[in-house]
Structure 1
Amino acid sequence: MRILFLDLDSVSPRHLGCYGYHRNTSPNIDKIAEKGVRFNNYYTSDAPCAPSRTALMSGQFGIRNGLVGHGGTAGDMKLEGVNRNLFGRLSVGGSLPSFLQLGAGLNTTLISPFPQRHATYNFYAGFNEIINTGEFGMESAEQVSPVVRDWLERNAEKDDWLLYVNYWDAHTPYRAPEIFGNPFADEPLPEWASEETLGKHKEAVGPHTVHELVIDHNGNTYTNVESEKFPRSPGEIKNMDDLRAMIDGYDCGIRYLDDHVGRLFALLEEKGILEDTIIIISADHGENMGQLGIYGEHGTADDGTCRIPMIISWPGMQQGIVDDGLHYHLDLPVTLAEMLELPASPDWDGRSYASVLKEGKECGRDYLVVSQCAHVAQRSVRFGDWLYMRTYHDGYHLFDKEMLFNLKEDLREEHNVAEQNKNICMEATYYLHEWHDEMMLKSGDDVDPLWTVMKEGGPYHAKGFLKNYGERLVQTGREHQFNELKQKHPSEFPEENVEARAAFTRAMMKNLF
C-alpha cells in the first residue's frame, strides 16, 4: 500500500477548477478528482494552521486536545496527566501517523517544516522519517519538490509507505516566482469582485481588511506597507487593480503548486505506480478572499476559512463522484481505519465516511461545530443551508456577537440575517451546547481552551495590537472605528478604566457628603 498525502496550505476549494472555479488554477489536481471522490462540504474542526493539523493528527477536537491557538497555554496540547504511560497516547496508534505505522505497517515520512514553525512537535509522533525543509513555511514549491522527488526516486516502488507533504505557495505572502508570470492576467475576476463589493469592504475594520493587509511585527500593528520581496501580495486594496493583484496573487500560488504536484504525478506514472497509489489532497484551512471583509487570511470560524478541499483517489473504490455530506477533517483517521479493516483508536472523535469511498453512499453529519481561537475567538455551527457564528473576541473587526448566513443564498457571507431568524439562531445554539456538553464530558477535565485564550488576554494574533492599530486608525481618519473598538475592548485600556471608576466613585461620594 502506498499513500501520498498532499497538504496544500491555505488552498480554498472555491479556487479549484474541480470545485467549479472559472479559472484554470488546478488542472493536475482536477485530474485526480476525476478519478476519485471529491468532498464538497468538508471542514476543519479547528482553524487555523496549528489547531487544524493537531486535530487531524490527534483525531480530537481542539476543545479536547487543548491546542486551539498559536501562543499561550492553548498553543500546546493538554498534558495526558497521571494516566500517561511510558510511550504516551500519540506514540502507540493515537496519532494518525503512528496508527498507520504500527497498525498498517507503513513506513511513514513527513516532508514539512510545520512542526518547527508552530512548535507542534507532537505532530512528529509516528513518522519514521522527518525531513524539515527548513524555512518555517516560507518555502516555495521549487524548494519542496526536489526533496519530494528525491524521496520518491528512492522509495516510490516500495509498497509500504505514507508520504505526507506540505506545499505553502497559497499562503500569504503570495510568492510564486516572477519568472512564472501571471497566467490569469487577461482573465475576468470572479463575479463578486466589483466596485460595489470593494466599496462595502472599505467600511470594514480590523487586521487583513482592505486598508491593512500586512502585519508589522516591529511596530506591533497591522499596516499597508508592501514588501519588495513579495510583489504579488499588496499591502492595501485601494481600487480594482489592487483587488485583481490580490486575487491573481492567490490564484498564481495555487497554479504554481499545481504545476509542481503535476510533476510528482507524472513521476509516479513513469514508475508505473500512479494507478496503485492512494492519493489524498486536502488543506489545513481555506483562505478568506473578501468574506467578512477579510482578504488573504484564515482568521475566522466561517465558511471561507474552515471549508477545505478533500479529494481521495483510492484504487478499486468509487471514481468521479461528489459527496455533499457534512464531514470534519478529523473524520479521516477513523475512515482509514475502516478502509484498512483495523480498529480505530477509542480516543478519536471522528466518524467514518468509508461508505462514500466504497459505495458512494452518503453518510454526512447533521451538523458541524468549527472553532477559531488564534485570530478571533469564535465557534460556529454549520447545518442545512446555514452558518451560525458566535463571537467571543472579534479580533478588532467589530463583528456582531451573533451572525447567521444562508449559504445557499449568500455563499460569500455578505448579509447577517441573525436578527430576522432568531428561531434558526436558537436551533444553532442548541447544537452548539449539545456538542460542548459532549466534548467536555469526554475531555476528563473542566478546561475549555477557548476560555483559556480569553483569560490570557485574547487570541494570539490580536493580543496587544489595539493601541498601535488605534493610532493608525486615528491617523487615517477612522477615529470613529477606533472609538467603537475601545468600547468593545475596554480591558485594552486599563488607565481609562481606572479614571472612569474614579469619576464614578467621586460622583457617588458627592451625593453621600
Structure 2
Amino acid sequence: MRILYIDCDSLRPDHLGCYGYHRETSPNIDDLSAEGRTFTTVYTSDAPCLPSRTAFYTGRFGIHTGVINHGGRNADPRRHGSSRRANYPGRFRTLASALNNAGIHTTMISPFPDRHDGWQVVEGFRELYDTGGNGGERADEVYPYARDWLEAHATEDDWYCHVNFWDPHTPYRTPAEYGNPFADEPAPEWLTEDLIEQHYQESGPHSAQDLKGWVRSWDRPRMPPEISSREEFKTMIDGYDVGVRYMDHYIGKLIDLLRERDVLEETLVVISGDHGENLGELNVYGDHQLADNMTCRVPLIVRGPEVEPGTDNDLRYQLDLAPTLVDLVGGDVPEGWDGRSFVDAVTNGSADGRDELIVSQGAWTCQRGVRWDDWLLLRTYHDAYRSRLEDVMLFDLAADPHETTDLSTAKPNVVDDGLARLQRWHDDRLLEAARGERGGNPDAPNGVTDPMWQVLREKGPYYTWDRVDDYASHLEETGREEHAAEIRDRLE
C-alpha cells in the first residue's frame, strides 16, 4: 500500500469547506473529502505540537510517555528502564517502526524533529528531509521536497510519506503577491464588538490586547498588533484563511502528481493536523494554548483504496489512527499502544467510537478537557495568567461551538459527571502504568506519576517561564492594574 500523510500544522476543521465553512479555503481538500471518508470529531490527546506528534507516532497518551510540555523534563519521553535491551521494547514500537516491520518504506518531510528536538517522532523512519525553515517555511518551500520524492518513488510499492505544511500556524506569512481572496467576504459573526471589548480588558498571552503573546511589537502584514474591533478581527481571520488556501493549492499539486503518475487510486491519502487553533475563543487569538475544542479538535480525511466514502461522527483520538494505519497495511499493532484501531470504520463505515475523550495541554496552560455527548468540561490547573479561565468550566458545543458561555454554575450535575469521567480516566491510566498495561510502563523513571503534576511542580507550562514579572509590568502600563495585582499576589 502507498500512504501519503499530509500533516497541516494548526489546521482547525471548521475553517475547511468540507466541514461547513462559508469561505472557499480548501477546494482540493474538499475534493478529497467528497471522494473519501471525513471524520468530524477527532481530537489530539495531547496539545500542542510536541505532545501531539509524540502521541500520534508512539500511539500512547502523554500521561504514559510523559510528553505534555515544550520544555523541562516533560518535553522528553520517559525512558524504557530495565525493559530496554539492545533495542527498545517491541511493545512500544513507533508507528514508523510498525510500518517498516510490515514492509512499508517510511519517509518524513518535515523540520519538526529539529524544531522541538522531537526525535522520538522520527524513530523508525528510513528517510528524513528537513525542509530547513524550523517551522517557518511556506507551502511553496515545502512542496519541492515532496514533489521530488514523489516523482522518484510514487510508482513504487509499499511506502508511507509524511509531508508537513505550516501555513496556518501563526504568524500568517503567505506571500503578499498572493493577495487576499477573502477581502470581500465577512469574518465569522460569532465574535461581536461587545465581546471584543470585554476581551480587550482582560489578560493573557495572545489575548485581544496582547495578540503578540509575550512579545511587545512585530511587523506582520497579515496579522494585526491587537484585536480591538471587528475590522482587526477580520484581518486576522483573513490571514489564517489565506494561509489555509495557499497550503491547499500545494496539496492539490501533490494530488495532481499522483494522478499524473497513475497511482492516485492506489494511494491512501490522509489529511490531518497536529492540533487546531483558537481564533478568539476564550480570548486566545491565533494560538493553541488550551485543552478545548478549538485547540484539540483536528481534521481527518481519508481517501483511497478500501475506504468507504461518507462521514463519521464518532468520538476518536488522533492516536487511534496509528493502529488503524498498521491494520490497513496488514501489520501487527504493538500491544503497548493506547490507540485503538478504527479500521472497520474506514473500510465499511462501522460505528465504533469512544464514549468520551480526555485531552491535555501542558505547554501554555495546564489543562485537561473532557469531551462527551455535546459537552466540553475544562479543568484548569495553571491558567498562564489568563483572566478568563476558571478552575472548572462547562460548554454546550452544540449550542455554543465558540465557547462563549460557561454553564458550570447552571449545570452542576453535568459538571459532576464530567469531573467523574476525568477522575476515572486518570485513575485508569495510572493503574495501567502501575501494571504495565497498554501504554503504561512501571519500569520508566516516574512511570506511575502524572506528568501534569510534574509540570506544575517544576516551573509550570514552558511558555510562562521567566515571563511573569515583565508581563505584570506591561499590564500596569496598559491600564490593567487589577490583573497585574492578581499576578503579583500569586507570585508571593
Q: Give the TM-score band, short-chain normalised.
A: over 0.9
Distance 2:89 2:385 in 1: 38
Listed one character per residue, the Cα deviations across residues 48-70 of structure 1 (whole Å, up to 9, x for unaligned) are: 00000000000000000011100
The match for 2:294 is: 304
**Which residue in 2 is equivalent to 1:109?**
107
Q: Distance in 2 between matches of 1:194 and 1:434?
A: 38
Alignment match of 1:226 (pick from 205, 218, 227)? 218
1:406-445 alignment, distance < 5 Å: 406-443=396-433, 444=442, 445=447
Q: Distance in 1 between matches of 2:351 and 2:197?
A: 41
Offset of 1:361 from its aligned partner?
1.5
Report the equivalent of 1:508: none
- Does 2:359 match 1:370? yes
Pairwise mapping of residues 337-352 of structure 1 onto structure 2 (< 5 A)? 337-352=326-341
Q: Matches of 2:92 and 2:29 in 1, distance apart?
A: 30
Find the aligned partners of 1:35 and 1:195 in 2 and give their Cα distance: 40
Residue of structure 2 in register with 1:155 after alignment: 153
Q: Is the 8 A contact 2:202 2:483 kept in 1?
A: no
SS in 2 for 1:198: helix
State the superposition RMSD in angstroms: 1.3
What CA distance in whole angstroms lies between the structure 1 residues aligned with 2:206 and 2:339?
Answer: 33
Partner of 1:60: 60
* Letter in structure 2 aligned against 1:76: D
Seen in structure 2, the aligned counterparts of structure 1 residues 120 and 283 have a Cα distance that, compared at 3 Å, is same
Give the conservation status (yes or no) of the 8 Å contact 2:314–2:352: yes
Structure 1 residue 305: Cα displacement: 0.2
1:269 has 2:259 as partner: yes
Return the alpha-carbon distance in structure 2 between the equivalents of residues 342 and 168 of structure 1.
30
Which of 459, 468, 476 aligns to 1:466? It is 468
**For residue 439 of structure 2, what is the aligned residue in structure 1?**
none
The CA deviation at 1:317 is 2.3
Matched residue, 1:361: 350
Report the count of equivalent residues.
Answer: 479
User: Aligned-pair distance for 1:360?
Assistant: 1.0
- In structure 1, list runs of 5 or more residues that go unmatched: 216-220, 494-513
Range with bigger deviation, 248-257 or 358-367: 358-367
Q: How far apart, in 2, do the equivalents of 1:432 and 1:12 lie?
A: 24
- Distance of 1:336 and 1:161 partners within structure 2: 12
Deviations 1:487-506 (A, max 9, x none): 4xx2x34xxxxxxxxxxxxx
**Equivalent position SS for 1:430:** helix
Q: Deviations over 1:294-325 (max 9, x none)?
A: 11000100001000000011313201x11110
Give the conservation status (yes or no) of the 8 Å contact 1:113–1:134.
Answer: yes
Name the structure 2 match of 1:251: 241
Matches of 1:57 and 1:47, distance apart in 2: 14
Corresponding residue of 2:318: 329
Cα distance in 2 for partners of 1:287, 1:322 equals 23
Q: How far has the Cα of 1:165 moved from its partner? A: 0.6
Structure showing greater radius of gyration is 1
Q: Secondary structure at 1:214's aligned position in 2?
A: coil
Match of residue 100 from structure 1: 99
In the aligned structure 1, how far is the partner of 2:89 from the partner of 2:26? 38
Q: Residue 449 of structure 1 corresponds to which residue in structure 2?
A: 451
Q: 2:195 aligns with which of 194, 197, 207?
A: 197
1:237 maps to 2:235: no
Which residue number in structure 2 is paired with residue 403 of structure 1?
A: 393
CA apart distance, 1:190: 1.1
Q: Do 2:289 and 2:295's aligned partners in 1 also have CA atoms closer than 8 Å?
A: yes
Find 2:279's aligned residue among 277, 284, 289: 289
Alpha-carbon distance between aligned partners in 2 of 1:193 and 1:409, rounded to the nearest angstrom: 15
Letter in 1 for 2:66: G
Q: Name stretches of at least 5 consecutive residues in structure 2 with no aligned partner.
A: 434-441
Q: Please state how far the C-alpha of 1:93 moved relative to its aligned partner.
A: 6.8
My pick for the range that moved more, 436-445 or 63-72, is 436-445
- Residues 89 and 236 from structure 1, CA distance in 2 versus in 1: closer, same or farther, beyond 3 angstroms? farther
Kindly report structure 1 stretches of 4+ aligned residues shifted beyond 6 Å: none
Contact 1:66 1:76 in 2 (8 A): yes
Q: 5 Å matches for 1:491-502? A: 492-493=491-492
Aligned mates of 2:427, 2:17 — CA distance in 1: 39
Secondary structure in 1 matching 2:18? helix
Contact 2:5 / 2:162 at 8 angstroms: preserved in 1? yes
Contact 2:92 2:337 in 1 (8 A): no
**Matched residue, 2:438:** none
Kept in 2, the 8 Å contact 1:317–1:358? The answer is: yes
Q: Distance in 1 between matches of 2:394 and 2:215?
A: 28
Aligned mates of 1:41, 1:316 — CA distance in 2: 21
SS in 2 for 1:461: helix
1:390 to 379, 403, 406: 379
Is the Cα–Cα contact under 8 Å of residues 113 and 137 in structure 1 kept in the other structure? yes
TM superposition shift of 1:484? 2.4
Aligned equivalents of 2:89 and 2:190: distance in 1? 47
Q: Distance in 1 between matches of 2:155 and 2:332?
A: 28
1:33-182 matches, within 5 Å, as 33-89=33-89, 94-102=93-101, 104-182=102-180
TM-superposed deviation, 1:338: 2.9
Cα distance in 2, alignment partners of residues 189 and 317 from structure 1: 35
CA–CA separation in structure 1 for the residues paired with 2:183 and 2:327: 46
How many Å separate the matches in 2 of 1:84 and 1:130?
25
Deviates more, 1:148-157 or 1:202-211: 202-211
The AA in structure 1 aligned to 2:449 is: V
- More deviation, 150-159/48-57: 150-159
TM-score, normalised via structure 2 length = 0.95
Give the corresponding residue for 2:29: 29
Shift of 1:160: 1.4
Name the SS of the counterpart of 2:344 in structure 1. helix
Deviates most, 256-265 or 197-206: 197-206
Q: Distance in 1 between matches of 2:199 and 2:481?
A: 17
The question of whether the paired residues in 1 share the 8 Å contact of 2:369 and 2:378 is answered with yes
The whole-number CA distance in structure 1 between the counterparts of 2:185 and 2:66 is 44
Give identity over the alignment, percent. 44
Q: Is the 8 A contact 2:275 2:288 kept in 1?
A: yes
